[in-house]
Amino acid sequence: MESKQADIYVFSGSGNTFLLAETVAGIFNDNNCQAALYPLGRFFAAGPERVLGVAFPVACMATYPFIIKFLRGLPPGGGREVFHIGSMAANSFGMQEPIRKLLVNKGYRPIGSRILKMPSNYGKNLNPTSLSNQNIIKEAAVQAANFAGQLLTGKSRWEQTFAPWSGFFHNLAGGEKPWRLFKKIFPLKINQRYCIKCGFCRNICPAASISTDKDGGFYIADTCVSCQHCAAFCPQQAIGIDGESGKAYKVVEYSHLAETLRQ
């Protein structure tokens, strides 16, 4: 990596990807490469001398539409170095290749991509403190630190899994259809009995999908892309599949996430 400064844009539904991005930034900072973490959404223009990092999870076979929109909306790279780190629970469906192509077409210079297995954050009865999940998290942290070292020493590569259908999945995930189907199978709802109307979910929803009705009750609109962010960080655990309340999976406290990602 030629750059000595890094801007890393992070989206993380329940904290898995955030933990990995934070590990990478920590290794950079320990090795005289100044790293800053930003929430993935708004882009802050910066010079080509700063490496661009993008960190986001695999979801619904590729990633969320708002992430693809963010990447498509990046300004021309002008040869700026770019790396990617992400997390998934089982299969990346070859998403790295279409992402690489997209960035190359925008004029960025890809220097490395790594997707690491983290615990699943979807379903019921998920427990981030179980021994098996703790082991997965520890192993991913080691791998993320290795990846950061490889980026710094120029030994990283843009990892690829063999998936001839990856372009198809990538295009599919960027559209509406898979999310409509996903929402039908896993309808995320707010349980009005537990909701204290704090508005927290509305503030953090990256798809602006939480509104209030005329009585001030909070509800999830159809534009929701099931990213899990609101469910993971609702202080009342009022958001769940079909409104079923339960402890949602999250691996960091919201205050830490919000303090670390510079606005």
Ligand X SMILES: Cc1cc2nc3c(=O)[nH]c(=O)nc-3n(C[C@H](O)[C@H](O)[C@H](O)COP(=O)(O)O)c2cc1C
Whose Cβ is closer to ligand X: residue 18's or residue 108's? 18
Q: Residue 256: CA atoms inside 13 Å, Cβ hemisphere, count?
A: 10
> What are the distances in angstroms from CA 11 to CA 20, 87, 190, 229?
11, 11, 22, 9
Whose Cβ is closer to ligand SF4: residue 160's or residue 191's? 191
Residue 120 lies near ligand X (rule: CB under 6 A): yes
**Residue 112 binds which one of ligand SF4, ligand X, none, with CB within 5 to 8 A depending on kind?**
none
CB < 8 Å & 24+ apart, contacts of 227-231: 227/11, 227/13, 227/59, 227/64, 228/13, 228/14, 228/121, 228/122, 228/188, 229/12, 229/13, 229/14, 229/204, 229/205, 230/188, 230/200, 230/201, 230/204, 230/205, 231/188
Residue 197 lies near ligand SF4 (rule: CB under 6 A): yes
Of 41-49, 113-121, 205-213, 235-243, the segment contacting ligand X by CB under 6 A is: 113-121
Q: Which of residues 71-100 bind ligand SF4 (CB under 6 A)?
A: none
From the list 120, 200, 245, 254, which residue makes contact with ligand SF4 (rule: CB under 6 A)?
200
Q: Which of residues 214-253 bind ligand SF4 (CB under 6 A)?
A: 218, 220, 224-230, 234-236, 238-239
Give the 3-state secondary structure of residue 154: coil
From the list 8, 54, 60, 82, which residue makes contact with ligand X (rule: CB under 6 A)?
60
**Which residues contact ligand SF4 (rule: CB under 6 A)?**
188, 190, 195-201, 205, 207, 209-210, 218, 220, 224-230, 234-236, 238-239
